[in-house]
Amino acid sequence: MITTTNECATKATYFVDYENVAEHGLRGIEKLGRDDTVFIFYTNICNKLPMSCLAGNTANVRTVEAMPGKQALDIQLSSFLGHSIKKNAESFYIVSRDTDFDKVINFWNQQGYENLSRITSFEAKDNPEYEEEIPALDENVKQVINSVIKKYESADDKKTRIHGELVQIFGADQGKRFYDIIRSDL
């Protein structure tokens, strides 16, 4: 279901992978204007959007609850992007640290839509040298993460379960960061 705050013509359209970037990815959203549209995709794993993240925002913000399943949010976000790309927005951005979206971006760039790119947060859009801080893993955190990985190592949806439990243990922002650090090794 899609919910909306402001309706208006679109200058830029943003597709936020909230499960991937959480509150961190919304930093800088207050810099967007009334002509910008933001679709925040979330799942039941990561469904708490603090209203403080949207403070000062004037953009047209819509939330989209993605259906559950393996890579479901990514697939639905990509599909919605494809549906939206012909609506004459000046530019499109996927807000995610998930580099798999680069394949979607490359596909659309090859189709002649070169106004599409991936950013890790709204702050990163205007600052190409912006780098998010990734926390170092201390030994206690490593032990907790390893026990979670071991717990779900044979599950069909192990990445989803590991992500969910890390978010539950460490909170949305920190759990997401830890998951992003280990995801490529799963």
In CATH, the number for domain 2-125 is 3.40.50
- The per-residue pLDDT for 68 is 83
DSSP state of 136: P
Distance CA 126, CA 30 (A): 13
pLDDT at residue 47, as a whole number: 63
Strand ranges inside the chain, DSSP E: 2-4, 12-17, 37-42, 60-65, 91-95, 116-119
Domain ranges of the chain: 2-125, 139-185
Q: d(Cα 8, Cα 149) in Å, to the nearest integer? A: 45
Residue 3 Cα distances to 7, 12, 54, 79, 85, angstroms: 11, 18, 14, 18, 20
Interacting residues of 26 by C-beta distance below 8 A, sequence separation 6+ = 16, 40, 53, 54, 121, 122
12-17: strand order across its sheet: 2-4, 60-65, 37-42, 12-17, 91-95, 116-119
> What sign does the dihedral 165-23-98-41 (CA atoms) show?
positive
Q: Is 6 exposed, middle or buried (0-12, 13-18, 19+ CB in 10 A)?
A: middle
CB 95, CB 14: distance < 8 Å: yes
- pLDDT tens for the 186 residues of the chain, in order: 554 444 444 589 999 998 888 888 888 888 888 999 999 999 877 667 777 677 778 889 998 999 988 888 999 999 999 988 877 668 899 999 888 899 999 999 888 888 889 988 887 776 655 555 545 566 777 888 889 999 998 988 898 999 999 888 888 777 887 888 787 777
